[in-house]
Every structure is written in structure tokens, then in C-alpha cells.
Amino acid sequence: MNAATPPPRVIIEEPGKPAQRLDFGWEAAVAAPLPADRGWSTLSLLGIGLAVLLLGFSVLEAGNFVAAQFAQAAWLGWVTLAVAVAGFGLVFAAIGREVRSYLALATVDRARAAHARGDAAAVKAALVDWQARLPEGRARAEGLAEMPIDAARALVEATTLAPIAREAEALGRNAAIQAFAMTAISPSPALDVLAFSWRGIRLVRQVAALHGFRPGIAGTITLLRRVALDAATVAATDVAVEAVLRGALSSRFAEQIAGETAAGAVAARRMILLARAADEACRVLPRG
Amino acid sequence: MDPFALIRGVVGTTEDAARALVGRERLRLAVTGLSRAGKTVFLTSLIANLLAAGRGARTLPALDEAVGGRIRRVRIIPAGTETIPRFDPEAHLGALAADPPHWPERTEDFSTLSIAIDVERRTSLGGLLPERRVTLDLLDYPGEWLLDLPMLRQDYAAWSAATLTRLRQGIRAEAARDFLAFIDALPGDAAAEDALAKRGFTLYRDALRDCRDNHGLRFLQPGRFLNPGPRGEAPLLWFFPLPPTAQGGLAALCARRYAAYLEDQRTAFLDPFFTRFHRQVVLVDVLGALHAGQEAFEDTAEALAAVAAVVSGGNWLERMLGAAPTRVAFAATKADHVPTRARDALAALLEHLALGARGRAEASGAATSFHALAAIRCTEDAVAMLEGQAFAAVRGVLLNEGRGATIYPGEVPMKPPEPAFWQTGFFRMPEFRPPRLDPAGSVGVPHLGMDALLARLLGDAL
Ligand SMILES: Nc1nc2c(ncn2[C@@H]2O[C@H](COP(=O)(O)OP(=O)(O)O)[C@@H](O)[C@H]2O)c(=O)[nH]1
Ligand SMILES: [Mg+2]
């Protein structure tokens, strides 16, 4: 070594002043990239604009009409007003319900995002919200707030999510049998498709109801989109679908007509898959 | 290789093959490192950062890149009915994040943990096939015990001769003065007196301790003399090396205890944990060895080579059975003790220090790599003004005082330094406070180079 390099040395900063621990801003540096905010598409803007115009102008129109009726006769005015209020009340109630059901599904996203971030407090808050919405009679985990997050998660899984998953599977089995039967008796393939779609949507809504969601139209559409996404993974990761299917179809009723139609088996398999995917899509916490 | 080991090997290989077939591989990772090399901290950081990566945090970018972002989930496998204690990353992390923080205590026993890594398959249809689950088996243990492994290939006479030769040289002779005087005064035919055995043991143990704690030496055997583990200092340990001139009852007693000690270590340590693994990390406190002087530096190299001879080097049969590691990563730990520009030198110096160990690993067909690593980064780059000149240095917060300090770690040579280098005298690097950490570790912990090391070590297996 050349003489120019000095030996190792520790230089302590001004005495008597404790230093802050270093902070590399690690949380921010490693934060999972947020999914790009899709924002509103042109089509939705268009749709919402049209709806606002339609609804807004009809409210104004109705207002004018009520005023005109009052000008004619007081009693006529009152009756018209009552009719208008009742009618628009129902319309707005429906819209409110749609919005609520749509937002309810968003809590699932929030809970999962918090879970992915490892934000224990936010996960627990989301779990409490979600529990409040569960249908009556559903077992709930108690005292989540005091628990470490792992324990809370395991408890929610055992007390609530696992039973829901079992019920969802039962619903899926029923739907599978019905779908199978439908193909056996339906006169035309076109009708099949219609019947399946209707049964499938009903199944998804039933499963969502288990999780405490009562989706309206917008909610159902969102839900179906999510289920479609999850179905890909469920189909791939679950060898159990085949087993459930065999279990369901060995019921005597199905056996009589088994073999008649391959389409029936395919349809039945889809129903079981759909039940699982719907369950996956509605879970507040991702499966362990 | 004895027949039982062969049978175990065949069974292990069959299991590996079966697991690979169903996408449920098990990877045993051996983390070897002498005491204070940073094994416990390494495991804690590895687990925290892998778990965070499994949640989508970008804590290990190089690993992510190496596996094409296919890691889906990482979780700790729930405990079964193991009798071995569980490695507790939460407790370690909690202590590191606490105020005031604590580094892990000296490790006194084994502990194990397995983590499951779910990865998407590599094929283009990977998204449609079931995920693969790779289980990573981890083990923590007292580093001192590692040096019992080379003893398994020596009998008492050979070990005594080698140990005493070493003990009579350099700073060891100074530290072991009392012990050497004791055995030199023993008559050759000393009887098997437990009082003598115990006295010799105590003197020998104290000499080893002095060597480890005050002189930074590492090639110190047997390991349980320095770190007796949960069972304490049992009579099994009451032996010590004796010169070939000692032929009496005491020598016979020492030889018996030596054999019994090794048998005990073999069944408790070597056989269950070190006969079969797939990957190996060798952690070395290169800077600590450098600062402790020439003898400590060379001693560390020798100890590493001796351990590698047992751990990394498989014979042809073991290699064929997949019992020898296929990838061995050497890492100079605590790389945050030197400024960024000196870290390449640290890795280069490690390459020289671990020459013997590397030769062993490569001779048995393993791919080796060298890294500079800080499992938990505790410093930032700074500039130190020394004698009116600016030198690259690091700044951190001292563990005990809680005060900020700028530390110039000296020059890090790229190869074993010239004799003149050692004139500067010893230096003991102070311990630092870890940076601000999340006690739950949900976003992992700040590190340097952990991702590159894992990419190299595990990238092909995921
Ligand atoms: N600055 C810094 N210090 C470390 C790091 N890893 C370990 N250390 C220090 O080295 C000491 C020994 O580490 P430990 O993991 O207990 O070593 P083991 O005996 O191999 O298990 C710790 O107490 C720390 O002070 C690191 O990444 N950065
Ligand atoms: Mg340790």
C-alpha cells in the first residue's frame, strides 16, 4: 500500500446531538406499480352525457309541465307533482342503488390492494366494512382489530370465506345439473346459449350475494368482467373442477341422460368454473 | 460414502425427480459463513424481501428480471411437527426496527424455515398451466460449528497434530500461552483424571475465545467449545489436543471424547443439514478480516477452504445423485461498510480470499459467482476530510451512541495486500444502527446487491 492512503478512521459528528436513523425512502422506491388508471372511456362519457341530458331535460320538462298544470287548476297541479315526484323518485332510487352496488365491489379492490401493499391497518378497516355488509346469519370473525394481520386473515378465511366458498361450490353444482338438463331437453342450440347465459348470470349474482354484494345492472356487468378475468386463472389452477363435475353428474338424474350430449358436459363444467371464478372475484382477500 | 448415505442419496434424488415432475420442487439452500459473517441478518433480509416481492413490491429487481416477473406469491410454509426451532424473521425484524434497535443475538442453536415461491411456468402457455411451487429450505446455525465439519475427516491424532502446529504459531501462541504451558508440563503417561481433562479443556477453550474475540481468528476447532449451544458444556467437551508423546490414560480419554463429540455433531448437524443441498451461499466478512490483520485474513481463507472441502465438494457419486450444490455464490457481507466505489474491490478481494473454497466448488462442477452484499444497508456515501484531502467514506448512525459518524474504512485492495499494508494496525468497524424499517417488514428491507445474488443463485430454478 502506498503511504498516501491514511488508515481507517471514525469521525464522530458533533457530540451531544443524537442523529436520526437513516431513511432511504425504501417504501416509495419499491412500491408496486399502480395499475394504470383507465379513466373514463369516450364511450362512457358519451353514455353518461346522454343520460344526463335525457334525465335533466325530462326533469325540466316535467317541472314546466307541473307549473302549467298548477296554472290550470291547483288540484291538477298537485296530482301532476305527486306523479312526477314518485316517478323520478323511483328512477333516482334505482340509480342510487346502482352506484352503491358498484362502489361496494370497489371495497374488494381496496382491501386487496391494501393487502398487496402489506398495509395492515387498511386491510383491517376494509375487513370491518365488508363484514358489516355480509348477509345476516353469516358467521363473522370477532376482535379483528386487536389481532396481528396474519391471524386476522387466517380467522376471516376460516370463519367466513371458507364456508362461503363451500356454498358457492354447492350453487355451482346445482347450476351445473340444471345446465346439463337444459341441453338435454332444449329444442335448439340457440336457445341453449340464451338459457346458459341467463343461468350463468344468475349464478354469479347468487355467489356475489353470499359475499354481501347485491349488484345492480352496472354492478353485474363489472362483476361479469372480473369473473371473466378470474376464470382464466381458476381454469388453469384448479384440477378440482373435473372432480366436482363428476361428483355432480353422478347424481341419478344426470346419469340417465349422460352421454347423450357432450355439449351438456361442457356447459356443466362451465357452471362449476363460473361459481369458483365468481367466488374468487368477490373475495375480500386473495386466496392463500 | 457409507451404504446408508448412499441409500439416503438415492432416496433424495428420487424425491427431487418426482417433485420436479409435478412442479413442486424443493431447493435446499445452505448458507455457510463463519461466526459473525452475517448469516442471521442475511436470512432475515432474504425472507423479508422475498415475501415483499411476492406481494408485488419491487424489492428484488434483478431477481424479478432474471425470472421475467413470473413470481406470483411467496409465503412462509406453516410449521409441521418439527422438533427443530423455527427461524423467526418477524422477531429479528422487530428488534431491528425497534427504538433503540438491536441486531440479532449470537446464534446459539439451529433453526429452520421453509418458504414457498409460486411461479408461473416459463413456457409461452405458462399462464394457462398450473403454477409451479418452489420450496426454499433455509437453515440458521452458529457459524462456529461449521468448522467441526473438516474434523469429521480426521482422527484424534491427526487433528491434534494439526491443531497444535497451528497453535504454536503467531498470535495464537500468545493467546494459548497458558494452555501450551499446561500440556507441555503434562507427563506423557498422565492418567485419565477428569480434573486434568477439565482443566485442559478450560484453558484450551479460553485460548480459542481469546483468538476469536480479540484477534479476529476463525479457524478454531471444535466449534462447540466456543458456542456450546443449547446443551451447554457437557462432559463430552472435556478434551483438548495433545502431542503424540502423550500416550497415557488421559490421551485415550481425550481420543474417546473426540470421537464421541464428532459422532454427536455428525448426527445433529452434518447428516440432517449438510449432506444434501442444491444451492450454497458462502458469506464472508471480508472487510472484518482485512481490518483484523494479516494473520486473521489468512486464517479466514484457510477456514473457508477447509469448510468448502466438506460442504461444496461432492465426489462423483454425490454429484450424480444431485447431492452437491450446482451453484455457489460467494458474498462479501456488510458491503455498506465501504463506499460504493470500493464495493467492486471488495468482491475482487473476496475472490482471492476464497480461492481455496472456490477451487473445491468448481472441481465438483458448481458454477461460482462473487458478490458484494449488504443484507441490510445501514450507511450512505459520504466524504471524509483526512489530512486536508477528501476520501470516499460512508456515513451511518452508531449503534450504541446513536450519533452520526463518518467512517473512512481504509483502502480496499483488489488482491491480498502487500506486507506494508498490514503496518497500519488493527481497526474495528463500529456497529451501525439499521435505517428506519417497517417492523412488519411489509415492503422488505433496504439492501445492496441481494437481488443480484439471488438472481444468480436461484434464477434458473424459478
Ligand atoms: N452494516 C451492516 N452490518 C451487518 C450486516 N449484516 C450483519 N451485520 C453486522 O454483523 C453482525 C453479525 O451478524 P449476524 O447475522 O448475527 O452474523 P452470524 O453470526 O453469521 O449469524 C450484526 O450484529 C451486524 O452488526 C449488514 O448488511 N450491514
Ligand atoms: Mg447467527
Distance from CA of B142 to the nearest CA of A (A): 29
Q: What is the pLDDT of residue A199?
A: 84
Which of these, B287, B456, B448, B457, lies nearest to B373 by C-alpha position? B448
Whether B38 is in the pocket of ligand 1, judged by its Cβ within 6 Å, is yes
Radius of gyration (Cα) for chain A, nearest Å? 28
Residue of A nearest to B409 (CA): A8
By Cβ distance, the residue of A7, A117, A118 closest to B425 is A7
Rounded Cα distance, A239 and A281, in Å: 18
Determine whether the shortest distance from the Cβ of B134 to ligand 1 is under 6 A.
no
The verdict on the CB of residue B433 being under 6 Å from ligand 1 is no
CA–CA separation, A175 and B226 (whole Å): 68
Q: What is the complex's ipTM, to 2 decimals? A: 0.79
Judge: B408–A9 Cβ closer than 8 Å, yes or no: yes
Residue A287 forms contact with B (CB below 8 Å):
no
Name the residue among B378, B258, B282 with its Cα closest to residue B32: B282
Q: Are strands B367-372 and B111-119 parallel, antiparallel or unpaired?
A: unpaired
d(C-alpha A96, C-alpha A94), whole Å: 5
CA end-to-end span of chain A: 57
Total Cβ atoms within 10 A of residue A259: 9
Which backbone phi and psi does A104 adopt, to 5 degrees?
Answer: -60, -40
Measure in Å the smallest separation between the Cα of B337 and chain A Cα atoms: 11
pLDDT tier at A243, thresholds 50, 70, 90 = low
Q: Distance, CA B39 to ligand 1 centroid (Å)?
A: 7
> How many Å apart are CA B359 and CA B301, to the nearest integer?
12
Angstroms from A153 CA to nearest CA on chain B: 13
- Tens of pLDDT along B210-254? 999 989 899 999 999 999 988 888 889 999 999 999 888 999 999
Q: Which atom of ligand 1 is nearest to the CA of B39?
A: 20
The alpha carbon of residue A155 is apart from the nearest alpha carbon of chain B, in Å, by: 15
Q: B110-140: per-residue pLDDT in tens?
A: 889 999 998 887 765 555 566 788 999 998 8
Cβ contacts from A onto B, under 8 A: 129
Q: Order of strands, edge to edge, in the sheet holding A9-12?
A: A9-12, B404-408, B389-397, B380-386
> What does the pLDDT look like over A219-242, one tens digit per residue?
777 777 777 666 655 554 444 455
Residues B383, B317: contact at Cβ < 8 Å?
no
Mean pLDDT of chain A: 78
Could you report the per-residue pLDDT of A254-286, keeping only the tens digit for each?
A: 555 444 455 566 677 778 888 888 888 888 887
Q: Which ligand is nearest to the CA of B376?
A: 1
B contacts of A19 (beta carbons < 8 Å): 397, 402-404
CA B371 – ligand 1 centroid, Å: 16
Query: Taking the mean position of all CA atoms in its chain, how far away is CA B288?
Result: 14
Nearest alpha carbon to residue B50 among B79, B27, B84 = B27
Which residue's CA lies nearest to atom 19 of ligand 1? B36
User: Which residue in chain B is spatially nearest to A236 when comparing CA positions?
Assistant: B128
Indicate whether A150 pLDDT > 60: yes
Instruction: Give which of B242, B256, B237 is closest to B185, Cα–Cα.
Output: B242
Residue B4 pLDDT? 66
Nearest CB to A10 within list B377, B405, B438:
B405
> Which three cell numbers mark B159?
487433528
Place of cell 361459481: A275
Joined grid coordinates for residue A144: 379483528
Q: Which residues lie closer than 8 Å to A282 by C-beta, 6 or more apart? A: A108, A207, A208, A210, A211, A213, A223
Ligand 1 pocket, B35 CB below 6 A?
A: yes
Ligand 1 centroid distance, CA of B287 (Å): 12
Q: Is A10 helix (H, G, I), strand (E, B) or coil?
A: strand
Mean pLDDT of A245-258: 53
Which of B35, B36, B281 is the best mutation target for the ligand 1 pocket, counting ligand atoms within 8 Å of the beta carbon and taking the most? B36
The pTM of the whole model exceeds 0.95: no
- Chain B residues whose CB is inside 8 A of the A5 CB are 391, 410-411
Angle at A93 between CA A89 and CA A96, to 5 degrees: 140
* Low-confidence stretches of chain B (pLDDT beneath 50): none
Pocket test residue of B41, B42, B428 for ligand 1, highest count of atoms within 8 A of CB? B41
Quick one: pLDDT at residue A260? 46
Q: In degrees rounded to 5, what are phi and psi of residue A26?
A: -60, -45
* Residue A187 to residues A177, A191, B306, Cα–Cα distance (Å): 18, 7, 81
**Which of residues 85 through 144 in chain A touch B, CB cutoff 8 A?**
115-120
Nearest to B131 among A1, A31, A237 (CB): A237
Q: Compute CA distances B91 → A237, B137, B284, whole Å.
A: 34, 19, 24
- Chain B residues close to A29, C-beta within 8 Å: 58
Which of B138, B128, B132 is CA-nearest to residue B118?
A: B132
Task: Round to whole Å and give the CA distance between A214 and A101.
Answer: 6
Task: Give the DSSP H/E element, type plus range, for residue A88.
Answer: helix A74-117
Over B85-151, what HEC string results?
CECCHHHHHHHHHCCCCCCCCCCCCCEEEEEEEEECCCCCCCCCCCCEEEEEEEEECCHHHHHHHHH
pLDDT reported for residue B1: 54
Cell numbers at B277, concatenated: 443441498
pLDDT in tens, A6-37: 888 888 887 767 788 888 888 888 876 655 55
Interchain contact A32–B (C-beta under 8 A): yes
Question: How many other CB atoms sit within 10 Å of the CB of residue B20?
Answer: 12
Q: Are strands B132-140 and B26-33 parallel, antiparallel or unpaired?
A: parallel
**CATH of segment(s) B3-103+108-141+277-378+436-461:** 3.40.50
- The torsion angle over the Cα atoms of residues B147, B151, B153 and B154, rounded to 10 degrees, is 150
| Predicted local distance difference test score (pLDDT) of residue B322 | 58
Measured between CB atoms, does A22 come within 8 Å of chain B? yes
As a whole number of angstroms, the distance between CA A125 and CA A287 comes to 19
- Ligand 1 nearest atom to the CA of residue B373, by list position: 27
Three-state SS sequence of chain B: CCHHHHHHHHHHHHHHHHHHHCCCCEEEEEEEECCCCCHHHHHHHHHHHHHHHHCCCCCCHHHHHHCCCCEEEEEECCCCCCCCCECCHHHHHHHHHCCCCCCCCCCCCCEEEEEEEEECCCCCCCCCCCCEEEEEEEEECCHHHHHHHHHCCCCHHHHHHHHHHHHCCHHHHHHCHHHHHHHHHCCCCCCCCHHHHHHHHHHHHHHHHHHHHHHCCCCCCCHHHHCCHHHCCCHHHCCCCCCCCCCCHHHHHHHHHHHHHHHHHHHHHHHHHHCCCCEEEEEECHHHHHHCCHHHHHHHHHHHHHHHHHHCCCCHHHHHCCCCCCEEEEEECCHHHCCHHHHHHHHHHHHHHCHHHHHHHHHCCCEEEEEECECCCCCEEEEEEECCEEEEEEEEEECCCCCEEEEECCCCCCCCCCHHHHHHCCCCCCCECCCCCCCCCCCCCCCECHHHHHHHHHHHHC
Judged by CB atoms closer than 8 Å, whether chains meet at B403 and A26 is answered as no
* Number of other residues whose CB lies within 10 A of the CB of residue B214: 12
Ranges of each domain in chain A: 53-282
Mutating which of A30, A34, A241, A242 best tests the B interface, going by the most B Cβ atoms within 10 A? A30
Most ligand 1 atoms within 8 A of CB, residue of B39, B93, B103 to mutate: B103
Alpha-carbon separation of residue B459 from A147, B114, B261, B311, B455 (angstroms): 36, 18, 39, 22, 4
Domains of chain B by residue range: 3-103+108-141+277-378+436-461, 155-268, 380-417
Task: Kindly state whether A28 is in contact with chain B, defined as any CB-CB distance less than 8 angstroms.
Answer: no
The 3-state DSSP class for residue A151 equals helix
**Nearest Cβ partner of B52 from A20, A22, A30?**
A30
CA–CA separation, B137 and B458 (whole Å): 12
The residue nearest atom 2 of ligand 1, judged by CA position, is: B334
pLDDT at A245 over 70: no
Q: What helix, strand, coil percent values describe chain A, rounded to 5?
A: 75, 0, 25
What is the residue whose three cell numbers read 344426470?
A254
- Assess whether pLDDT exceeds 50 at residue A123: yes
- Taking alpha carbons only, the member of A145, A101, A142, A106 closest to residue A123 is A145
**Matching residue, cell 461449521:** B146
